[in-house]
Structure 1
Amino acid sequence: MQIETATLGGGCFWCLDAVFRELKGVQSVISGYAGGARADPTYQQVCTGATGHAEVVRIEFDAEQIDYATLLQVFFGMHDPTTVDRQGADVGSQYRSVIFHHSDAQRVTAERTIQELDAAGVWSSPIVTRIEPAPAFYPAEDYHQDYYRRNPGQGYCRMVISPKAAKLRERHAALLRN
């Protein structure tokens, strides 16, 4: 196995956590916080927007089974990368679209992916996803981990995450675990 790390933010981390857990080659997904100034922030602190952190997922994946470019294709298909500090009803810098790269190769892949998607006109507005070096990562509280699987009947899960999971299954069936 060739284990690599990806750190991505695209709105509420519950959504990305649920989606990436379904992919072949993904070894682990941890919801957390990155990109801000405060060490060891809490969910309540991050929700104020004052810490500068984004809600993110840290993904450990086997690059022999799924490559970084494919992870980014899934990432861009599961959120709106054209809105600044917003995903649907979730508003604030903690919900920004961001790729925290762990190597120059990841940075180049992210830049190329955004250029290709913008050139293809996938969205009517340009992509505003930030690409930044991976900063310190702080795991979120335990109750945020694997939230969708543990709370499928919760309103946000039914109304927001379930449609994203269905979209993943429809668009990327070949990438899913058995």
Structure 2
Amino acid sequence: METGEKTEKALLAGGCFWCLEALFKRVPGVLSVTSGYCGGAAPHPTYEEVCEGTTGHAETVEVVFDLAVISYREILDFFWKFHDPTTLNRQGADIGEQYRSVIFYLDANQRELAELSKSAAQAAFDRPIVTSIEPAGHFWPAEAWHQKYYERNPDAPYCRFVIAPKLAKLR
């Protein structure tokens, strides 16, 4: 991974991490996207535990980006467009606390930018944004089979009917 002189990370939850991963990988300046879990109390959560709702984690992506190409604020602008931040614990047919919308901030600057971005984004939605803004805590990478899911499974039904239309809209 070649990077500029300075990179930053964003931890974002907005439904299924397969969707956010596939979308963010196509954003100029994004260097890597890792699917994982954040926001819960259990160490080393598994996908099964997260789906059962026993850990408190949300499906989250860790986005590493080159600050010479894209800012944290611009990453957040994409985040608001990539999911529906007005639905509580749900994105489309994906329902449960693990699909909640969260910006996990890594420092005070990210927290301030997230709050400003959320206020600005509200104008684009008819319903109130329910996205929470929380301190990051530990990010746990998901199991290997979740990484690059869309790239490895483009013909899977979820990829064809949920992710592909979002990618087409991004183009």
Q: TM-score, normalised by structure 1?
A: 0.92
1:100 aligned residue:
104
Task: Choose from 34, 37, 43 the match for 2:38.
Answer: 34
Q: What is the RMSD of the two structures over their aligned residues, measured on CA atoms?
A: 0.8
2:127 aligned residue:
125
Which segments of 5 or more consecutive residues in structure 1 lack a partner in the other structure? Answer: 170-178
Deviation at 1:168, TM superposition (A): 1.4
| Cα-to-partner distance string for 1:24-58 (whole Å, 9 max, x where unaligned) | 21111100001101100110110011210000000
Task: Choose from 87, 91, 103 the match for 1:87.
Answer: 91
Matches of 2:15 and 2:162, distance apart in 1: 11
Matches of 2:132 and 2:169, distance apart in 1: 24
| Cα-to-partner distance string for 1:137-158 (whole Å, 9 max, x where unaligned) | 1100000001001100000000
Identity across matched positions, percent? 56
Matches of 1:168 and 1:107, distance apart in 2: 26
Is 1:60 aligned with 2:64? yes
Deviation at 1:126, TM superposition (A): 0.7
Q: TM-score, normalised by structure 2?
A: 0.95
Deviation at 1:7, TM superposition (A): 0.3
Which segments of 5 or more consecutive residues in structure 2 lack a partner in the other structure? Answer: none
Matches of 1:111 and 1:63, distance apart in 2: 20
1:165 aligned residue:
167
8 Å Cα contact 1:46-1:52 kept in structure 2? yes
Q: What is the letter of the counterpart of residue 103 of structure 1? A: D
Deviation at 1:18, TM superposition (A): 0.1
Ranges of 4+ aligned residues in structure 1 off by more than 6 Å: none
- 1:22 is paired with a residue of what secondary structure? coil
Q: What is the letter of the counterpart of residue 163 of structure 1? A: P
1:145 aligned residue:
147
Q: What is the letter of the counterpart of residue 68 of structure 1? A: Y
